[in-house]
Amino acid sequence: MSSENAQIRIIASMPLAEDWGKLTKYTFDYRRHDGEWQRQTREVYDRGNGAVILLYNRRKRSVILTRQFRLPLFVNQHHGFLLEAAAGLLDELEPEERIRHEAEEETGYRLEQVQKVFVAWMSPGSVSEKLHFFIAEYDDSKRTGSGGGVIEEGEDIEVVEMDFATALAAIRTGDIADGKTIMLLQHLALEGIL
């Protein structure tokens, strides 16, 4: 973060919470397009950057998803069990290294080749996370275990193999409702990969 440039001056930062993630209230001066400076405050939630991967199989025309409980949804009028592409926080690792590790931990597939497709900010008004998107081909020979995540960390991940057509239909019905997962499924369709 640059604290000062021609258009932005950070005036103060006040930690509101420093626990799992960091919630900070920033006061900054912003120079508007008409040249006037305006003082503003914004809360920023920082819990690091992340990576996500969609596993696909051309022959079976299928994808590998995970289903796990997500508390933030549960407290916002959803049952909480969300279908998602495998994802994780970087924790100091390079995105490609992290996502290979995460894919095996969560889905049980060990992938040699992963392809980076794009980077996106998923909630830019409040969350600082930058998310790195990957895809990779899987087949049964790459299966090393049953996945499921790390019990000690409270993970209880169900691995779901789904027809690609069923997954695309599930976006329309709302059964797949996770942003990063929708983006990767649509990427496979748009690029004609599946």
Ligand X SMILES: Nc1nc2c(ncn2[C@@H]2O[C@H](COP(=O)(O)OP(=O)(O)O[C@H]3O[C@H](CO)[C@@H](O)[C@H](O)[C@@H]3O)[C@@H](O)[C@H]2O)c(=O)[nH]1
Question: Which positions make up the binding site?
Answer: 87, 102, 106, 155
Q: Tell me, what DSSP letter sits at residue 81?
A: E
DSSP letter, residue 52: E
Nearest residue by C-beta to Mg ion? 88
Q: List binders of Mg ion among 70-109 (CB under 5 A).
A: 87-88
Please report, as ranges, the residues that interact with ligand X according to CB under 6 A.
20, 50, 52, 87-89, 102, 129, 131, 150, 153-155, 180
| Strand ranges (E), 8-151 | 8-18, 22-31, 37-46, 50-57, 62-69, 81-84, 86-89, 115-121, 130-137
Q: How far is the CB of 50 from ligand X (least distance, A)?
A: 2
Judged by beta carbon, residue 9 or residue 110, the one nearer ligand X is 110
Tell me whether residue 62 or residue 181 sits nearer to ligand X (CB atom): 181
Residues ≥6 apart with Cβ < 8 Å to 169 = none
Helices (H) and strands (E) in the chain, counts: 4, 10
Which parts are annotated binding residues for Mg(2+)? 87, 102, 106, 155
Q: Which is nearer to ligand X, 16 or 150 (CB)?
A: 150
Question: CA-to-CA distance for 146 and 164, rounded, in angstroms?
Answer: 21
Q: Which of ligand X, Mg ion, none has residue 153 at its interface (CB below 5 to 8 Å by kind)?
A: ligand X
Residues found near Mg ion in the complex (CB under 5 A): 87-88
